[in-house]
Amino acid sequence: MDLRPLGSLRVSVVGLGCNNFGMRIDDDATARVVSAALDAGINFFDTADIYGATKSEEFLGRALKGRRQQAIVATKFGMAVDDRRKGARPEYVRRACDDSLKRLATDYIDLYQLHQPDPSVPIADTLGALHDLVKAGKVKEIGCSNFSAEQLDEAARATTPGAASFISVQNEYSLLHREPENSVLPACERLGLAFLPYFPLASGLLTGKFDPEKGAPKDSRLSLSWTSRFTSEKNVRIAEALKAFAAARKHTLLELAFSWLASRPQVASVIAGATSPEQVRANASAVNWTQTREDLAEIDRLSPHT
């Protein structure tokens, strides 16, 4: 598994999203998925305090017992855990970090990310609190998620010289959602930020398992009500065209989805969830296709950037 720079860290080009832990799979299944990921060369684990109603961090911490040094652990704060635990006020940043450290059963977080902008708090205040966490050794690097290019620029301007600064942004990006190409990816290049795409498989539509005639497989992520936006008629049509394109070149749609994202210069790690060791292994081996210039042009035709 190739490793790529993420600030001072070195992360596997395929990462494991941990939002299924505590939501779709239990403690034992989580342990099996995490073990399979480490064995496959995946070292980057991305969770958040809200995932699985805080259970994701707990399950991940237990699954990494005895193997913590092999892992790069990223988590997030800022979305509402409950009515009181939310936002980016400095006093809450400190509490949220301590809570995550306890749940993860670790004394440091490799990448601590603000899950979403908090318009009620000056970003300079949040950055100051995050810098204190880095200085205290509780956090190695800091990042953000769901930020626009304008918000990334604002954060860069608010960063005190010599202080900790965002080294990454984690936003949705896939062959079916190319909006980051408009402004966020150029901002990453300009500011020297790494990009971490989430929903790289459009919640399962780009796995190649979706059948337009039968709909989403039972118990799949696409069967959940909140994922219905992924299965629009347009998206299904594009996914089927991309699937045929990949098959004609003896590849799967899954390999296309991962390899195409991994080819983007700013992408450090492609974060995808898994509920079984088999899914982990499939994801880990899916970055083996280097597309030609002609391939990329055809992909742009089939999945236009708008």
Residues with a catalytic annotation lie at 51
Q: What is the DSSP letter of 133?
A: H
The Cα 82–Cα 219 span in angstroms is 27
The Cα 237–Cα 183 span in angstroms is 26
- Do residues 75 and 100 make contact, with C-beta atoms less than 8 angstroms apart? yes
Of 97, 40, 95, residue with least CA distance to 73: 97
The pair phi, psi for residue 172, each rounded to 5°, is -70, 135
Q: Is 241 exposed, middle or buried (0-12, 13-18, 19+ CB in 10 A)?
A: middle
Task: Assign residue 94 a region (left: φ > 0; alpha: ψ between -120 and 50; beta: otherwise).
Answer: alpha
- Do residues 159 and 127 make contact, with C-beta atoms less than 8 angstroms apart? yes
